Amino acid sequence: MQYKDGLSIVIVNYFCENDITTLVESICTTCTLEKFEFVIVSNSPSDFQWDEKTRQKYNIIIIDSGSNIGFGRAMNLGVAHASYPYVCLSNPDIEIPTGTLEKLYEFFNSTEESVAAISCLIRNSEGLIQNSFVFDNGLDKKSFALHYLKLILPGFIRKTVFRDKAYENKTSSEHHYHEPFEVAGLYGAFLIVRKTAFEALKGFDPDFFMYYEDDELLRHRLPQKYKSMIYPQAEITHQVGKTDKYGLMSDQMQLSFLLFLKKLGYYYLVIALITLSIKYSLLYLHTLIKPRKERREAIRFFKSFKYLGRVLQTPKGYGQRSNCLKLDEIPE
């Protein structure tokens, strides 16, 4: 059953019951929204300590996905069980200050139907502002090619000639945003979506196991039909990197990155692979002369070529695989 108002909070569990328990109990203690619920999708055996009375009191729904089906598929499953028209998609390792959900809900409720997703400013554990949105998704062919071609150039040329924003100081605890503003895309650590729009887009592409499913939906498909906005009067904290249980997420990220490029088209895949191969070849040669931490990054990139066969076998388009594309080393 879907109600006319209220907020559903969907969280995916993968051996992070402590983080989820802390998040849920914090929201239950501080949130003043009249109607809200939690939908927790477990991709691993769970042992939450809430008794049935507590679950009913705080509207906690726990869904066993049956196996490690991946982040995107689990989120889609959670949204399908959500009762309310606004759905908060949250990582487990999030801290939400008092009043944040109320501000975001009130703002979203005041927007037009064309706004499908909103988020707020996101800080890391040190209080610095993270990149949680983009003003330009950079996915038109010309912008994409220019961005990757610039990666080959030395840093001082990118900084002085092209004024590359990657070299600007972004590690700031301050911001200059005072009014809500439209963006070209969001990232998936924390956001609120309009359920009707999310379902119209069929949610996250189930071909992705983890990583880049948010880029594919929020930077690629969603902007073609809907708008996304940032409400800077609200903030949350993201404890980055706490959910990597097996230490394989860097490799999984490389695999998902290749899949994302393949989904965009062969043009994007070829441009990225050629330019990044040049970049990391030069970088690796430089580390032979002067050892640097980037050597590991270069090696990881070239190791990812072993995934190309599996990626190329995936047809372009939404949900073309019978199962999501993940590393074999990650347990079900």
Residue 61 phi, psi (nearest 5): -110, 125
Q: What is the pTM of this model?
A: 0.90
Please say whether the beta carbons of 197 and 118 come within 8 A. Answer: no
- What's residue 102's pLDDT? 96
Strands, E, within 29-158: which ranges? 36-42, 60-64, 86-90, 94-95, 115-123, 133-134
| Count of domains for the chain | 2
User: Which string of DSSP letters, residue by residue, matches 249-297?
Assistant: HHHHHHHHHHHHHHHH-HHHHHHHHHHHHHHHHHHHHHHHHS--THHHH
- What's residue 329's pLDDT? 83
- What's residue 137's pLDDT? 85
Please say whether the beta carbons of 128 and 172 come within 8 A. Answer: yes
Tokens of 156: 């001082």
Residue type, 17: E
Tokens of 302: 């070239």
**Does the residue 217 lie in any domain?**
yes
Do 120 and 39 fall within a single domain?
Answer: yes
Quote the CA–CA distance of 26 and 91 in Å, as a whole number.
14
**Nearest in space to 11 (alpha carbons), one of 186, 246, 191:** 191
User: Which residue has 């379902």 as its token pair?
Assistant: 199
Point out which residues pair with 194 in neighbouring strands: 86
Final residue of a domain: which of 238, 267, 282? 238
Residue type, 263: K
Do 192 and 219 fall within a single domain?
Answer: yes
- What's residue 82's pLDDT? 97
- What's residue 244's pLDDT? 54
Check residue 160 and report its DSSP letter: H
Residue 108 phi, psi (nearest 5): -60, -40
- Tens of each residue's pLDDT in the chain, 332 residues: 555 689 999 999 998 999 999 999 999 999 999 999 999 999 988 778 888 998 998 899 999 999 999 999 999 999 999 999 999 999 999 999 999 999 999 999 999 999 999 999 999 888 888 888 999 888 999 999 998 998 887 665 666 655 555 444 444 556 788 899 999 999 989 999 999 999 999 999 999 999 999 999 999 999 999 999 999 999 999 987 555 555 578 889 999 999 999 999 999 999 999 999 999 998 888 877 766 777 888 888 999 999 999 999 998 899 999 889 999 888 77
CATH code assigned at 78: 3.90.550.10
- Rounded (10°) angle between helices 294-303 and 249-264: 60
- What's residue 163's pLDDT? 58
Please say whether the beta carbons of 209 and 70 come within 8 A. Answer: yes
- What's residue 295's pLDDT? 83
- What's residue 166's pLDDT? 45
Do 98 and 19 fall within a single domain?
Answer: yes
- What's residue 260's pLDDT? 97
Do 234 and 253 fall within a single domain?
Answer: no
**Nearest in space to 234 (alpha carbons), one of 54, 104, 41:** 104
**Does the residue 318 lie in any domain?**
no
Q: How many residues does the chain have?
A: 332
- What's residue 27's pLDDT? 94
- Residues of the domain holding 57: 7-138+168-238
- What's residue 148's pLDDT? 92
Do 213 and 268 fall within a single domain?
Answer: no
Do 203 and 99 fall within a single domain?
Answer: yes
- What's residue 4's pLDDT? 67
Do 177 and 299 fall within a single domain?
Answer: no
